Amino acid sequence: MEPVYFDSAATTQVRDEVIQVMQDALLNSYGNPSSTHAFGRASKSIIENTRKTIAKELHASPQEIIFTSGGTEADNMILRCAVRDANVTTIITSTIEHHAVLHTVEELRNEYDVAIEFVKLQACGTPDYNDLERLLKANDERKLVSLMHVNNEVGNLLDIDKVAKLCQENNALFHSDTVQSIGHYKWDVQKTPIDFMTAAAHKFHGPKGIGFAFIRKSNSLKPLIFGGSQERGFRAGTEPVHNIKGLEKAFVLAYENLDEEREYVEGLKNYFKSEIKKAIPEVKFNGNCSDNSKSTYTLLNICLPMSVEKALTLQFQLDLKGIACSKGSACQSGSGKGSHVLEQILNEEDRQKPSIRFSFCKYNTKEEIDYVIGVLKEFVEK
């Protein structure tokens, strides 16, 4: 069997069409976008056209799209600037956010003495919306809510319209890490009163090192990175034109093919669910990932029935068999630490068992799923 890649929640394979437009940009659009000559103007045109493309799809204004190096920078920039410039004194978040959010709010607490409140979680890991409302109404402090739309480890979906409405009713700002959902879900920021969103191209078959932040124009934030006048002065630094062109192509293709590819990928997820249950009846699905109405169609997080001793070699054995998957967030996989998400939602017994995240994309097949399940079944029954 050829190597199998089931780790698209960590990063995706770049589409051939994206590589082609990036190569063309590298060869032919090498002018500095800040230069006023024809070469510079041609590069600047690529950036502004991409901005318009993204804004149109999100029903935003072009001025509300700021290019960044990816989701982590965008999350950091929004949270820091909101505290510094929007008089935020309380941040409400959850214990299962991405570390780009959790580590940032910890630093903000140390630097600015911001109060951090953690919304209660339901057993599956979904935020308790009643507790969120309680926290929003607790006092008159200026608040910002930061809750991700799609959890990157277990796939739980946030009711983002409900949260946005609660924030609006209570005069709170709302930031959502949408890195796992932009490119996979339709958005209309005119209908959803969200203040801040983040995206990374490499999550929807684009290049690494480029993403964007949506910052609603009613929020007058100031720059975090100073220097030149790029990004209307909000983020200094010469723009990577080839990456921005690749982002645009990946973004356009993601939404042009969204319905067709979603149906295909969701079919793969459903097939994996049914076949793994047949092969290993004791398998458990973590969070809400087995319920497609409450989780993303792109991933499954499973808990396997085996001893702690055997579990220690599972990831190594899968790698030997050419299977790429994740035992947790890829951003943490080299640290040797367990998943902070699963730590919050699994009982003590299941925390001792191995949990694996399998995430799917348009390039995967049912034959690959059959192979992976066969390997898992053999290892469990050894």
Instruction: Give catalytic residue positions.
Output: 331
Q: Are 97 and 332 in contact (CB under 8 A)?
A: no
Please give the Cα distance from 99 to 314 (Å, whole number): 25
Q: Are 295 and 280 in contact (CB under 8 A)?
A: no
Please give the Cα distance from 346 to 364 (Å, whole number): 29
Q: Which two tokens stand for residue 290?
A: 């087995």
349's CB contacts (< 8 A; 6+ apart) are none
Please give the Cα distance from 202 to 291 (Å, whole number): 26
Cα distance from N-terminal residue to C-terminal residue, the chain: 21
Please give the Cα distance from 186 to 204 (Å, whole number): 13
Q: In 10 A of CB 218, how many CB atoms? A: 7
Beta strand residue intervals within the chain, DSSP E: 4-5, 65-68, 90-93, 115-118, 143-146, 173-176, 196-200, 211-215, 284-285, 299-303, 323-324, 355-359
3-state SS class at 134: helix
In one-letter notation, the amino acid at residue 265 is: V
Please give the Cα distance from 284 to 286 (Å, whole number): 6
DSSP per position, 314-334: HHHHHHHTTEE-BSS-GGGTT
* Cα→Cα distances 177→66, 76, 96, 150, Å: 15, 11, 12, 8
Please give the Cα distance from 54 to 219 (Å, whole number): 19
Closest to 319 (Cα-Cα) out of 353, 356, 275, 364 = 356
